[in-house]
């Protein structure tokens, strides 16, 4: 499967089990955003799903499982598959100049790779440069989110709201993974747009997540690069 990499700033970030490399004084960072495009009907996806579950335990990572729907007609309909997930992967395919495939993993909207290739994924996390160009902050009452104040320097960007289920176990009875029980982590249920940034800070209302669920707010530049990100988990 293809793997095209677009490497941005080279700031060392820790890999699984390692220590965070020192950052310059005053540098404001954000979590690294990891997006896995996967399907319960895909026999090569469970190893990538397991790796996503491992990565999701890291406090410096927002890990999201986007379940695509173009594999639903091959014996098993993934209960988490959505047209929005497929559309997001197709947008990345245009950005990277790659065909769509699964499992595909995208880091910070800037680099893509095969989702079960552990060494490639760890290297991408180590080399990520998660600068908070547009900081994302949730209100204390969990009912609004503010982008800024550095948003004025970031120019235009799209503010995305991702709602997900933290853990779900599914007995699969048909398709390529028949007779297997799959565990999915941070499976995306909905993806919507809160608004557009036009160079000024902005605040958006938010429905807080229920227990076992979560929301991630991503700020994404027109070229795909993640400018800001934060996650809020249901209590």
- Residue range 104-145, pLDDT digits in tens: 999 999 999 999 999 999 999 999 988 888 899 999 999 999
Judge whether residue 18 has pLDDT over 60. no
Residue 78 in 3-state DSSP? coil
Share of the chain above pLDDT 70, in %: 86
d(CA 50, CA 150): 35
Judge whether residue 10 has pLDDT over 90. no
Judge whether residue 22 has pLDDT over 50. no
Strands 61-67 and 32-38: parallel
Give the predicted TM-score (pTM) of the model. Answer: 0.86
DSSP assigned state of 166: E
Residues 6 or more apart whose Cβ sits within 8 Å of residue 170: 40, 79, 181, 182, 183, 184
Q: Tell me the pLDDT tens digit for each residue of 23-74.
A: 333 457 899 999 999 999 999 999 999 999 999 999 999 999 999 999 999 9
Nearest by Cα to 230 from 19, 9, 29: 29
From residue 17, alpha-carbon distances to 31, 32, 122, 126, 199 in Å are 16, 16, 10, 11, 38
Q: Number of C-alpha atoms within 13 angstroms, CB side, residue 75?
A: 13
Q: Tell me the pLDDT tens digit for each residue of 183-231.
A: 999 999 999 999 998 778 899 999 999 999 999 999 999 999 999 999 9
Helix/strand/coil percentages in the chain, nearest 5: 15, 35, 45
Helices and strands counted in the chain (H then E): 3, 11
Extract the runs of DSSP E, i.e. beta strands, from 39-178. Answer: 61-67, 104-107, 111-114, 136-138, 144-147, 156-172
* Confidence at residue 53, expressed as pLDDT on a 0 to 100 scale: 98
* Confidence at residue 12, expressed as pLDDT on a 0 to 100 scale: 27
Q: Is the dihedral of CA 218, 131, 89, 67 positive or negative?
A: negative
């Amino acid at each position: 499967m293809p793997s095209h990499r677009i490497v941005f700033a080279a700031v060392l970030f820790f890999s699984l089990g390692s220590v965070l490399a020192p950052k310059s004084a005053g540098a404001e960072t954000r979590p690294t955003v990891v997006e896995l495009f996967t399907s319960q009907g895909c026999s090569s996806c469970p190893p990538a799903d397991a790796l996503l579950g491992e990565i999701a335990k890291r406090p410096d990572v927002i890990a999201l499982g986007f379940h695509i729907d173009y594999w639903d007609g091959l014996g098993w309909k993934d209960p988490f598959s959505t047209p929005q997930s497929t559309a997001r992967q197709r947008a990345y395919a245009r950005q990277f100049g790659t065909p769509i495939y699964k499992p595909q993993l995208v880091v910070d909207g800037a680099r893509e790779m095969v989702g079960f290739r552990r060494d490639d994924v760890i290297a991408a996390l180590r080399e990520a440069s998660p600068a908070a160009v547009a900081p994302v902050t949730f209100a204390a009452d969990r009912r609004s989110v503010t982008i800024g104040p550095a948003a004025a320097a970031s120019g235009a960007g799209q503010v995305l709201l991702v709602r997900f289920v933290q853990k779900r176990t599914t007995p699969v009875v048909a398709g390529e993974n028949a007779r297997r029980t799959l565990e999915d982590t941070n499976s995306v249920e909905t993806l919507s747009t809160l608004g557009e940034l036009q160079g000024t800070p902005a605040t958006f209302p938010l429905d807080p997540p229920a227990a076992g669920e979560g929301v991630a707010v991503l700020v994404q530049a027109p070229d795909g690069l993640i400018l800001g990100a934060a996650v809020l988990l249901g209590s």
